[in-house]
């Protein structure tokens, strides 16, 4: 522990943001990380708890008190080694993780938590700047072939871990670039894509073969799931060509809103809108791009995806942006005595909200209205909860103007046809059925087929996908070799 009285002496300092006016001009990241002396002071706030709740609150179990202490001592290289030992991609999580570790931090019980995420961000960026992130090429090759289907954080973590213990790994991706939702979901202003590219270079140097534009199995006809594949491989073929297969295809089936007028032009899934902008930022030409310029935009869905639609619409130059949430407005402050060390229920205001957006809570959409086939408005009604049931408030109907409606109500499941192609059993929510047990975990009902990330757990977080990719890699290694030295 660096400074015994640090938590009493120093206030929490948040990372800075460029002002909204400036950051709305482009799609660049706008967070201003902590400098060396700020990081040292923030790390000094850590109490090095005997039972560090941060460590169990973090899905990849980052060894937080240790790297805090090393940052306090300004021993950045060893802090990097500690961070790298549990997390394949801390430069991703240091940018976009909601930081359940901070909710769990002991200081958060009656004060402000240690700024763990900003310290993680600082360590990861220094590691890249100083050339400490190098390929780890295995000395011995096992001769075993593993296919990883899907290149989101789960697939990337699984592929990297498996290549590092000497397996011949091929990472398949139906889109033209790797990264899953990191690439074609999360906007560049939250995480620039060069962070993915340099990791892919590292993974290639470690022996991972990447095959983009290759669809394993098929999507249903008319599916709106992003698919830039030029080639298809049948699951049967993959099973005969590889010793093990990891399914890491995410949960791509967007939740729809089948109310009258859903077919009107101008009503789109968020996941039609967001990937197009990321492609444009990457330099692609997107014919007929869905744009918000000068439009009145309504985003339906109050979560992360909705917030990303708000930020992107404002960057397009929308005339107005309104975001709907079906649930009532949460309290500004959580009741820490009830929630700590778990993820608290409270109002969350993202940087995109701060850039300009009206937020409407307890509101349901009854109908999309339009003229000449184009959406012009949304009919709504206020709702409240009685005896656990949602009821409409009589007389609260309203029509709001809208030229663009973005549906961001989450994802229901993986695309069923992909699981069915492999014959993998599904759980009650339609996800790939596989446990996370120490023995036999991540194995599906089909021999030698494993599943990790959103495809197994349902829509979740990047940090959970990394955890599952790492743990599934260990399960696959054990299955192939009879033992594994990979961490869980
Ligand atoms: C808009 C948006 C914003 C988000 N923001 C955040 C955030 O700020 N922080 C956070 O922690 N989480 C966020 N999330 C959630 C997070 O991105 C996901 O939980 C995470 O990416 C899941 O990782 P995954 O590897 O399981 O799947 P994915 O990232 O979905 O990757 C799956 C990949 O598999 C490919 N694939 C699927 N089927 C096939 C097939 N048959 N053949 C070949 N390839 C296939 C897909 O094309 C995709 O590239 C966000 C999600 C969205 C949609
Ligand atoms: S819970 Fe908070 S104070 Fe305790 S060790 Fe973790 S980061 Fe430090």
Question: What pLDDT digit, counting tens, does each position of 403-419 carry?
Answer: 999 999 999 999 999 99
Query: What angle is formed at CA 194 by the lines to CA 172 and CA 156, rounded to 5 degrees?
Result: 30
Residue 411 alpha carbon, nearest atom of ligand 1: 53
Question: What pLDDT digit, counting tens, does each position of 287-304 carry?
Answer: 999 999 999 999 999 999
DSSP 330-382: PPSS--HHHHTTSPP------HHHHTS-EEEESEEEEEEEEETTEEEEEEEEE
CATH superfamily of 256-409: FAD/NAD(P)-binding domain (3.50.50.60)
> What's the distance, CA 114 to chain centroid?
22
Distance from residue 467's CA to the centre of ligand 1 (Å): 14
What's the rounded Cα separation, in Å, for the pair 461 and 482?
Answer: 31
Residue 179 alpha carbon, nearest atom of ligand 1: 49
Q: What pLDDT, on the 0 to 100 scale, is given for residue 469?
A: 98
Among 87, 178, 181, the mutation site with the greatest number of ligand 1 atoms within 8 A of its Cβ is: 181
Domains 6-129 and 145-253+412-481 are alike in CATH topology: no
CA atoms within 13 A on the CB side of 473: 29
Task: Please give the radius of gyration of the chain, using alpha carbons only, rounded to the nearest integer.
Answer: 23
3-class DSSP state of 385: strand
Token pair of 421 as six digits: 């192609």
Q: What pLDDT, on the 0 to 100 scale, is given for residue 2?
A: 74
Q: Domain locations in the chain?
A: 6-129, 145-253+412-481, 256-409
Average pLDDT of the residues of the chain: 97
Q: What pLDDT, on the 0 to 100 scale, is given for residue 169?
A: 98
| Fold classification of 6-129 (topology level) | Fumarate Reductase Iron-sulfur Protein; Chain B, domain 2 (1.10.1060)
Q: What pLDDT, on the 0 to 100 scale, is given for residue 222?
A: 87
Among 161, 211, 249, 419, the mutation site with the greatest number of ligand 1 atoms within 8 A of its Cβ is: 249
Dihedral sign from CA coordinates of 427, 429, 432, 437: negative
Question: What pLDDT digit, counting tens, does each position of 315-326 carry?
Answer: 999 999 999 999
Whose CA is closest to 268, among 108, 405, 122?
Answer: 405
Distance from residue 120's CA to the centre of ligand 2 (Å): 13
Question: What pLDDT digit, counting tens, does each position of 179-238 carry?
Answer: 999 999 999 999 999 999 999 999 999 999 999 999 999 999 889 898 999 999 999 999
Token pair of 233 as six digits: 């491989």
Question: What pLDDT digit, counting tens, does each position of 158-190 carry?
Answer: 999 999 999 999 999 999 999 999 999 999 999
Question: What pLDDT digit, counting tens, does each position of 42-84 carry?
Answer: 999 999 999 999 999 999 999 999 999 999 999 999 999 999 9
3-state secondary structure 271-324: HHHHHHHHHHHCCCCCCCCCCCCCCEEEEECCCHHHHHHHHHHHHHCCCEEEEE
What's the rounded Cα separation, in Å, for the pair 340 and 346?
Answer: 12
The ligand placed nearest to the CA atom of residue 111 is 2
Ligand 2, residues at Cβ distance < 6 Å: 46-49, 52-54, 64-65, 68, 105-107, 114, 116
Whose CA is closest to 327, among 297, 301, 299, 353?
Answer: 301
CATH superfamily of 145-253+412-481: FAD/NAD(P)-binding domain (3.50.50.60)
CB atoms within 10 A of CB 86: 19
Q: What pLDDT, on the 0 to 100 scale, is given for residue 44?
A: 97
Question: What pLDDT digit, counting tens, does each position of 85-109 carry?
Answer: 999 999 999 999 999 999 999 999 9
The ligand placed nearest to the CA atom of residue 46 is 2
């Amino acid at each position: 522990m660096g400074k015994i009285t640090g938590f009493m002496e120093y206030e929490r300092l948040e990372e800075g943001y460029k002002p909204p006016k400036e950051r709305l001009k482009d799609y660049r990241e706008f967070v201003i990380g902590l400098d060396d002396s700020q990081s040292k002071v923030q790390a000094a706030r850590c109490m090095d708890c005997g039972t560090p709740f941060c460590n169990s609150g973090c899905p990849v179990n980052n060894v937080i008190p240790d790297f805090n202490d090393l940052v306090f001592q300004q021993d950045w290289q060893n802090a990097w080694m500690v961070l790298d030992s549990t997390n394949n991609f801390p430069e991703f999580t240091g940018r976009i993780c909601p930081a359940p570790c901070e909710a769990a931090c002991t200081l958060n019980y009656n004060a402000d938590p240690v700024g763990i995420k900003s310290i993680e961000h600082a360590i990861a960026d220094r590691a890249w700047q100083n050339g400490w992130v190098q390929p780890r090429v295995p000395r011995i090759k096992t001769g075993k072939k593993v296919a990883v289907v899907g290149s989101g954080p789960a697939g990337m973590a699984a592929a990297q871990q498996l290549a590092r213990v000497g397996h011949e790994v091929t990472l398949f991706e139906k889109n033209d670039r790797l990264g899953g939702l990191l690439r074609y979901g999360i906007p560049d202003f939250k995480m620039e894509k060069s962070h993915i590219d340099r990791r892919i270079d590292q993974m290639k140097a470690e022996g991972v073969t990447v095959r983009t534009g290759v669809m394993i199995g098929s999507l249903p006809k008319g599916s709106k799931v992003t698919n830039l594949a030029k080639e298809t491989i049948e699951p049967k073929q993959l099973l005969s060509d590889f010793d093990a297969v990891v399914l890491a295809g995410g949960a791509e089936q967007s939740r729809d809103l089948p109310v009258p007028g859903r077919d009107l032009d101008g009503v789109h899934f968020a996941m039609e809108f967001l990937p197009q902008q990321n492609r444009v930022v990457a330099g692609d030409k997107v014919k007929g791009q869905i744009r918000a310029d000068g439009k009145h935009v309504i985003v339906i869905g109050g979560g992360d995806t909705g917030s990303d639609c708000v930020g992107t619409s404002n960057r397009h130059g929308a005339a107005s942006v309104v975001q709907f949430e079906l649930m009532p407005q949460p309290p500004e402050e959580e009741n820490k005595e009830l929630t700590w060390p778990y993820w608290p229920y409270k109002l969350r205001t993202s940087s995109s909200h701060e850039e300009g957006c009206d937020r409407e809570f307890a509101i349901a959409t009854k109908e999309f209205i339009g003229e000449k086939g184009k959406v012009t408005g949304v009919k709504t009604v206020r709702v409240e909860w009685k005896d656990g049931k949602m009821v409409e408030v009589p007389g609260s109907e309203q029509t709001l103007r809208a030229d663009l409606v973005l549906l961001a109500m989450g994802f229901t499941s993986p695309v069923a046809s992909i699981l069915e192609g492999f014959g993998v059993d599904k759980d009650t929510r339609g996800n790939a059925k596989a446990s996370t047990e120490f023995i036999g975990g991540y194995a599906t009902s089909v021999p030698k087929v494993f599943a990790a990330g959103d495809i197994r757990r349902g829509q979740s977080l990047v940090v959970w996908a990394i955890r599952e990719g790492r743990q599934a890699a260990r399960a696959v290694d054990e299955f192939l070799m009879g033992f594994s030295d990979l961490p869980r």
